[in-house]
Structure 1
Amino acid sequence: MKRYVLLLILLIGFQSFSYSKIIRVNNMEESIPEENLYSNLEDAYKNSVSGDTLYIEGSNNEYGDLTIEKRLTLIGQGYFINENIGISSNKFETIVGRLILANGSSGSKIYGLRFDQSGLSSAYINVNNIEIGNCYFRGTIRLNESNLENIIVNRSYFNSSGGFYLSGLTDSPQNFIFSNNIVLGDFYLKDKSSGTITNNVFKGSDFSVGENANLQIHNNIFLGTEISDYLMPEEGSNISHNISVAAPFSDGNNNQINIVEADVFITGDNSSDGKFQIREGGPADGKGKDGIDIGPFGGPKPYKLSGLPDIPTIYDFSTSGFGNADGKLPITIKVSAN
């Protein structure tokens, strides 16, 4: 029964991938290759071709590391599932170790994974045209090559040991987009990066993009308390509508400085990511560029609690456990479109 329900959801959710193969990965089930089901992530990868989608299901067990040399889409089931009650009926998370996006993987997309690798980087990006979204990072994302283009990181959560880094000998990325993320760790780029940094929360001890970065920096909330924590352009219309508890930039261009953190976010007993929702009537409410909310829950693609990917999610599944007179078992499924 569980398998047929899941296949139904996959058919609904992946209509846009109708010309590629959908491969299920579940390390709590036996592999059935003829049904494109594998219990091992490496085996699923070996049996995929560029353009395929790997749906990596939630599990008690980590799926391990993977080096990707094909254009693939990887989709997991998010994180903090037990904290955000009622968001999904499946309480397992999709936990991986480290991913290396190597030559051949340009165009790949990664969604809904929990990267539990600590001490080292969780994801290494060596190619252009990569999108990572709706993921949890215990370690960092690291760019390993110079002048990478079209790197998108959005709607993800970086814990205090996680963050974003540019390798020391690597030149700055171009057309870089970093949006709607919650970053409790450090963020590090270099001068001459180009792109957009918008609608994020930065709480780490270091935010460094260089004094001459060609970046649009809007609608962010900066929670570092020391001016020495920041290295960024001080003036310019490309830095606007941000909030900071310190003063790393001027209060012109609709920036707000020396703001009290407690005034920005909702109060109460909230989840690890839910506590960064903004307070109604506070300094972030509708004060962003074009009148949107400042922070990760504002803008056209706001942060999603628990990193749920943009596919239908079963948030309630129930059955009486008894068949009726015609031998059928009635079930009730509630699905969120996300």
Structure 2
Amino acid sequence: MALLCLLLNSQDSLAKIWRVNNNAGVAADFTDLQSAVNGAAPGDTLHIEGSPYSYGGATIGKKLTILGPGFFLDENPNSQALQHSGKLAGIAFNVGSEGSLVMGIDFQGNGINIFSDDILIRRNRFSTQNGVIPDYSIGTINLYYRSNNSNIPINNVIISQNYGVKIAVSYASTGVLITNNYICFEAWGGDGTTSYCLAAHANAILLVQNNIFRRGKVGASNSNFTNNIMVFGQFEGTGNLYSNNMASASQFGNANGNQENVIMANVFVGATTNPTAEGQWKLKAGSPAIGAGYGSTAQNPIDCGMFSGQNAYILAGMPPMPAIYSFEIQPIGSNTDPIDVKVKVKSAGN
């Protein structure tokens, strides 16, 4: 056992961080995602740096951490000095990628296909913009089966703090946590669309909490829904447990702390007060969602919606790592007056 622990610790200490950057004139380790995946070893980290160009997609069969700089950086002051996001096309996680994490990525309407257990998808953007509509098109996170055995559904997947995403659980997966996301069908479908924003197999078991459902149908059975807000949409399924959700109509009913027929203009600050894509979904003063969450007390209030709970949504999707948000350099210097550089660094919360 001691030898095994020594070997594991040795493997962790050998993990490497790779730079992925396709900007002209930048000396990086890789310029596209698939080459970075192929060149990295299990346990390594890929830093996808900001760029106006996409790094493409990849099929992944090893444990990797993929980190981007976040998104909506131009809408969130003091987020990143370089306001380009790290853009990727679709990703497929195959068996062998167990334990992988992808965070802070701009998928630009593309999605993720999961064929492996134990995947964490956190703080990513899956939408594309059309004019002033930030969620005009939406990418999908698809949960399938193990890539080496189509008879075994994948299990233990966490989908947390993502913006503008659809979710499809196509097989009888268990251990699926969906928390603090902005979930919706495409805006082009309209608020009355009956297309699914969250669709789950009848035997899949989900824990769904503190999400905002913007538009589209939610279909799930034998799952638990807590502290969610449905702005527009429909709900269908059997055997579910509902508590402390609120909706614009009677989607969750009014038992077990649920609230129905809520006027959504009274819930959120809205685009007039906070015109950013994410910030408009914060709760306004006096919102009926404040303190309405399951287990809320006066000493420890818990709200409904994506900005509350243990995994509160983080603006701009920035990973919890140091980020340069201000960079100032003196344009001219000399031997007697060296060039001054002022850098400000901060870290997003966990």
In structure 2, the partner of 1:294 is 304
Give the aligned partner of residue 200 of structure 2.
Answer: 189
Structure-2 change in CA distance of 1:234 and 1:47 (3 Å): closer
| Matched ranges for 1:107-186 at <5 A | 107-118=99-110, 122-137=111-126, 138-145=138-145, 146-158=152-164, 162-167=165-170, 171-185=171-185, 186=197
Report if the CA contact (8 A) 2:31-2:55 is conserved: no
- Structure 1: stretches of 5+ with no match in the other structure: 1-16
Q: Does 1:203 align with 2:211?
A: no
Partner of 1:220: 228
Structure 2: how far apart are the matches of 1:324 and 1:301? 50
TM-score, reference length from structure 1: 0.84
Listed one character per residue, the Cα deviations across residues 43-97 of structure 1 (whole Å, up to 9, x for unaligned) are 2222101000000001010111111111000001111111223322111011111
Q: Measure, in 1, the Cα distance between the counterparts of 2:200 and 2:207.
A: 12
User: What SS does the aligned partner of 2:34 have?
Assistant: helix
Q: Tell me whether 1:279 sits opposite 2:284 in the alignment.
A: yes
Counterparts of 2:309 and 2:253 in 1: how far apart (Å)? 23
Q: Please say if residues 65 and 96 of structure 1, whose CA atoms lie closer than 8 Å, have aligned partners that are also in contact.
A: yes
* Structure 1 residues 10-29: Cα deviation after superposition (integer angstroms, max 9, x where no partner): xxxxxxx7651000000114
Confirm or deny that 1:318 pairs with 2:318: no
Contact 1:149 1:176 survives alignment (8 Å)? yes
What CA distance in whole angstroms lies between the structure 2 residues aligned with 1:319 and 1:30? 20
Q: State whether residues 29 and 39 of structure 1, in contact with CA within 8 Å, keep that contact through their aligned partners in structure 2.
A: no
Query: Identity across aligned pairs (percent)?
Result: 29
Structure 2: tracts of 5 or more residues without a match: 1-11, 127-137, 146-151, 186-196, 297-301
* Aligned-partner residue type, residue 285 of structure 2: E
Q: Deviations over 1:271-313 (max 9, x none)?
A: 1111111112211112112221111100122111111111122
Measure, in 2, the Cα distance between the counterparts of 1:29 and 1:165: 38
Q: Is the 8 A contact 1:31 1:39 kept in 2?
A: no
What SS does structure 1 have at the residue aligned with 2:265? helix
Secondary structure of 2:295's aligned partner: helix
- Tell me what 2:16 maps to: 21
Whether the 8 Å CA contact 1:208–1:232 is kept in 2: the answer is: yes
Distance 1:222 1:324 in 2: 61
Letter in 1 for 2:255: G
Contact 1:111 1:135 in 2 (8 A): yes
Distance of aligned partners of 1:299 and 1:269 in 2 relative to their CA distance in 1, 3 Å threshold: closer
Distance change >3 Å, CA 331–CA 68, structure 1 → 2: same
Distance 2:338 2:101 in 1: 40
Offset from partner CA, 1:108-140 (integer Å, 9 cap, x none): 10001111245xxx1100010000010011311
Paired letter, 2:294: K
Q: 1:234 to 1:283 in 2, by over 3 A?
A: farther
Residue by residue, what CA displacement relative to the aligned partner does 1:164-199 show, whole Å, maximum 9, x if unpaired?
Answer: 1133xxx22101100000012211112232241111
Q: Which among 242, 245, 249 is matched to residue 242 of structure 1?
A: 245
**1:91 matched to which residue of 2?**
83
